[in-house]
Amino acid sequence: MSLIPSNDIDPGLTVDNYSAEIESEVDAIYKHMYDEQTSIDEVITLLQRSEVSSDTCDHDIFSCMLHFLFDEYKFFQSYYPACELAMTGYLFGSIIHHDLVDSVPLGIAIRYVVDALNCPPDTNLFKFGLQALSRFESRLAEWQPLCQALLRIPHLMEVRPDLAAVIHHAIAVGGDGSRSNVDMRGISAGLTADPAPVFTSIHPDKFDAEIVEPPEEISDKILFIVNNLAPSNH
């Protein structure tokens, strides 16, 4: 996934390598943020400044910071303390709000938020998603598939009962999404109908006559056959 600003490579198709100096500087930036020596808003300002800079080094810092954040997602639930994860949620949502990623990376970022919000409400990952969403919910009208995906999360509506009205308003005023350069395929895929049952070929006929219970010997044989057909036995 290429996150270097102003490049000619399709975002999402390459992986960038960084020098030890760049990685060390990025580590220091995040350490200062988590130690609260630097505010999250100051980190966002740094990202905005680095994105539009003409200095290649600044572009590398911008790209490396975002790569670090995306790569760390898989560790959020297991290794991040609640306070640090809440800070990360604020940062993550701010990056989406301020348009610091687009196209494939933006689609991935939004997918991460939706996945987090699908977690149980008492998990830190759900709280991360809620914090992130609060930072960019003013832009929901741009992303109709996201609005539909959020409405399909019942416990989210219970935790944030005001959110349903916000989303319905976003759907009412939203357009076709042409204003936003974002790959929403990952979100749209989650809006398909519920999966069909395993035994799709079974269509029982209507039977009006009285049903007679078979002898126990026959019932046992039928149960034995059905048990051996169960997916859990394969």
Residue in this structure with the two tokens 């319905």, named with its chain if needed = 168
193 vs 100, higher pLDDT: 100
| Per-residue model confidence (pLDDT) at position 207 | 54
Mean pLDDT within 3-28 = 71
Q: What is the pLDDT of residue 183?
A: 67
Contact 167, 87 (CB under 8 A): no
Which of residues 5 and 55 earns the better pLDDT score? 55
Share of the chain above pLDDT 90, in %: 62
> In percent, how much of the chain has pLDDT > 70?
68
Give the pLDDT of residue 104: 86
Q: What would the mean pLDDT of 15-22 be, rounded to a whole number?
A: 84
Span 193-214, average pLDDT: 51
Residue 182 has pLDDT above 80, yes or no: no
pLDDT at 197 over 60: no
C-alpha distances in Å from residue 228, one per residue of 107, 145, 197, 213: 43, 41, 18, 22
pLDDT at 129 over 80: yes
Which phi and psi angles does 182 have, rounded to 5°?
-145, 140
pLDDT, average across residues 147-171? 94
Is-contact 116 132, C-beta < 8 A? yes
pLDDT band, very low/low/confident/very high, at 24 (cuts 50, 70, 90) = very high
Two tokens at 53?
């800079």
Q: Which two tokens stand for residue 124?
A: 């830190």
Q: Of the given ranges (46-50, 120-124, 221-225), which has the lowest mean pLDDT?
A: 221-225
pLDDT at position 193 over 50: no
Q: Check residue 233 and give its pLDDT.
A: 46
pTM > 0.75: yes or no: no
pLDDT tens sequence across 138-153: 999 999 999 999 999 9
* Average model confidence (pLDDT) across the chain: 81
The CA distance from 42 to 67, in Å, is 19
Convert the pLDDT of each residue in 208-232 to its tens digit. 666 666 676 666 666 556 555 544 4
Mean per-residue pLDDT for 92-106? 93
Domains of the chain: 20-197 (1.25.40.840)
Which of 162, 72, 156, 151 shows the shortest CA–CA distance to 109?
Answer: 72
Exposure letters 120-142 (e unless 16+ CB within 10 A, then b)? eeeebbbbbbbbbbebbbebbbb
Check: CB of residue 189 under 8 Å from CB of residue 110.
no
- For residue 113, the model assigns a pLDDT of 96
Q: Which residue has the higher pLDDT, 164 or 10?
A: 164
